[in-house]
Structure formats: structure tokens, C-alpha cells
Amino acid sequence: MGSSIPGRPCGRAALAFCLVAACHGNDPVAVSQTPADDSGPSDAGLTDGSADGPIGDASLPDAEDAPAPDAPLAPVTLGVVPLPFVGEGGTPGPSEQTLAYLETLAAGARGTTLIRRWDELAAPLTSPVETAFAGLETAASLYARQRRQLLFCLSIVDRALPVLPEGASADWSAPENRAAIDDLIDQLFATFGEELRYFVIGKEVDRWLALANRAERSGFVDFVSGTLSYVRDHPRRPAALEVGVAASAQGWTEGTAGLAELRPAIDVVVATYFPLTEEFEARSPSSAGPDIELLLEALTSESEPPLPLVLQEVGYPSSEVVGSSEALQQLFFEGFFQALQSRRARIPFANVFALNEQAEAACALDAESFGATGDERAIAAWCSLGLRDRDGLDRPAWETVSDGLAHFATP
């Protein structure tokens, strides 16, 4: 189903054995040769501006901004969204999903993002979906045993679409909504442990806020602020947990109405970054450095210390339909890792989207969430973000991402 990952400690057959062991709760599998301990800086294995390394190479953009070789390095948790292999018309099950977790961990991922819609976790409003929580428990167990980090995003809107469970009120401030989401958070904290590093409300909430009227925005801001306050004060909150709200990089940069009002409720700024035009054409693969710099500038205030920037998902399409290619996708990630290297002090967590391609039905839902139902370019963009192609074969970008995972493995 694809070539082996450079430096992978075990192949697909061995990972299948690991999968069985993981599902039966045996001792932790040694899925990575890279250190999992985040304690203390180290310069081991890093190039940081030397001419012989793929990251920090002086010929790449932003190399002049990289820290000096002897400067302390800020740790970056770099991960890959572990989308399982789908194949033609296939539907992956729990075993395929766990295998995808193991493959990304084996490649050196130090964390990942889990995004779940509210209506996927509760159906109806006060009834938790047992299979959904079972899937979260599997991920929590794997990442805890490997001492990796998880970002959990509770999606109460899916870009422009609200995703409220059946029985929820359209009025965000309704008592039944408040009680239900508090109960849901109780169940989530019973599921996760210290591996949970970020609790985020999403998804790309700026797109919903941009369409909402003033009263709707006010109710939404109050609801989200109250939810994050409940998370912060929860007795089972992991000690290192930080909270945030996920918006698109464009939304944070442009200051979409409502986001500024949410700033007091968050510990970190959480952004998704997919450099596409409004017509879903791929922007220049060299966009990462300038775009991230603009984003960081927009988040910097003279009156208060800047908040860390967490990149919940970062991806670039490879489809010719949107003006891209596999070579351009690889070039984008080369530029992205250079931009990340020179700004690592501000960006503690970044997550690449994604190991495999999404199912075509999921791509159609993504297009719908943008208000572009049936749009050929929107579907092509979201169906070509994988680091492997539709046949499960590695794209060139997977080699670049694998190098990035090795590079950011320490400190």
C-alpha cells in the first residue's frame, strides 16, 4: 500500500502486529526511534542554518531569520493527522484508524489533532455516542503510552455550518445547551488524561461568525467563553492543558468580528492554514513564510504579551484541478518547515494534514461547509491534501514531512 517511511523502525507487517498488541492493551509499542521526552533543550541532530541540511539551508526562504546554531531551541510538537487509508469506496474501521495512529507515531509524530463535531459525540443532545467515545479512548491510550500530545477540538460549528445535536436550541445561551456541553466536557475529561495538551472550540469559527448578525455573535461569544471557563476550572483538567478557539489563519489575520472578544477566554491562538484562494485555487507554494509572518504580526499587541500560535491543521493540495501538483505540494512543505524553524519560539504545536486522502464523501462535506456544495475545485482541493495518493502510495511531500518530523524531534 505504499513505500516504507524513511527511518521507520518497523514495516507494515510489523505495524499490523503492533496494532493487535495495542488493541489488547499490552505494553507500549516502540513506535519511534526519536525521543519522546520534551524535557530540556538539545541541539542533537539539528542543522539550523547549516548548508548540508534540508531544514535551515541558507538557500531556502527565511534562512536569515533562523536562530544562531548555539541559541537555545524552543520545542515544537510536530504531528500528522492520522487519516486512515480509504481506497476505492472503502470505509475504514477502528483497526484501520489505529494503524494510521501507529504509522504516524512510527514516523516520529510527537502529537496530533482530534476534531469531533458536537453532533457526532451526542445524538441526541444528552445521549453520548458510545462508539465515538470508544474511538477517543483508543487514541488517548496510544498517545498517553507513547508520551505524545493531543489537541482535541470540539467542533460546535463546521466552518459556516452549525453542527448542534438534535434537541439543542438554536439560541446558544439556552440552558439546555449549557448543561449539555458541560456534561460532554465531563465525559471528555473522563476519557483523556495528561496526554491532552490543548482543548479547543472550533472549527474555523470565523467563517460562521462572518455570516452571523450581532446578536448571534454575542450569544456565541458568551457560550464559547463560558465553555472554556468550565474547562479551565474543571477538577480533572490536566495540569499543562491550555484552551483556545480555532479560526482560519485568514480570520485571525483580518480580525473577523467576534474573535477579538474571545481573546480574554483563551491561552493560545489556534489557527488552520490552507493557502487557497476564495475560488479554491492553490496559492503560491512559497506563501507559508509571508503568511505566517502576517499572522504573527496580527496577533502581536503592544499592550500585552503575544499568545502562542498553535497550528491545528496545515495542508496544501496536489490536484491539477486547483493549479497544483505533487511537486508544488512538496515545495510548499519545504517552505513551511523553514518558516516554522525560524519562528519556533512562537509556534509550540503544528499538525500536518494529512497522512492519507479523505473519503470523497468527506471532501464533499468540506465543500458544503464553505458554502460551495458540489464545487469541483473545492472537492478537488480537499481530496488532494494527503501525503499519500488515492492508491496509498507516498507522494514526494511525505519524504519532506518525514524529514520535518525528524528535524523537530528535539528538543
Q: Are 109 and 80 in contact (CB under 8 A)?
A: yes
Q: Are 314 and 271 in contact (CB under 8 A)?
A: no
Note the pTM of the prediction, 2 decimals: 0.86
Residue/partner pairs of 368-376 with CB below 8 Å, 24 or more apart = 368/161, 369/158, 369/159, 369/160, 369/161, 369/207, 370/159, 370/160, 370/207, 370/280, 371/160, 372/280, 375/280, 376/321
Q: Which three cell numbers stand for residue 324?
A: 497544483
Please report the pLDDT score of residue 123 as a whole number. Answer: 95
The domains of the chain are located at 12-31+45-407
Question: Looking at this protein, which amino acid is placed at residue 67?
Answer: P
d(CA 104, CA 350): 14
d(CA 142, CA 214): 43
Q: In this predicted model, what pLDDT tens digit does every residue of 326-371 receive, in sequence order?
A: 999 999 999 999 999 999 999 999 999 999 999 999 999 999 999 9
Please report the pLDDT score of residue 359 as a whole number. Answer: 93
Q: Are 33 and 9 in contact (CB under 8 A)?
A: yes
DSSP result, 194-219: TTEEEEEEES-HHHHHTTS-HHHHHH
CATH topology of domain 12-31+45-407: TIM Barrel (3.20.20)
Q: In this predicted model, what pLDDT tens digit does every residue of 135-179 receive, in sequence order?
A: 999 999 999 999 999 999 999 999 999 999 999 999 999 999 999
Name the residue among 393, 405, 388, 375 with its Cα closest to residue 329.
388
pLDDT tens for the chain, 411 residues long, are 443 333 333 444 445 444 444 444 444 445 444 444 443 333 333 333 333 334 444 334 444 455 555 668 999 999 999 999 997 767 889 999 999 999 999 999 999 999 999 999 999 999 999 999 999 999 999 999 999 999 999 999 999 999 999 999 999 999 999 999 999 999 999 999 999 999 999 999 999 999 999 999 999 999 999 999 999 999 999 999 999 999 999 999 999 999 999 999 999 999 999 999 999 999 999 999 999 999 999 999 877 889 999 999 999 999 999 999 999 999 999 999 999 999 999 999 999 999 999 999 999 999 999 999 999 999 999 999 999 999 999 999 999 999 999 999 999
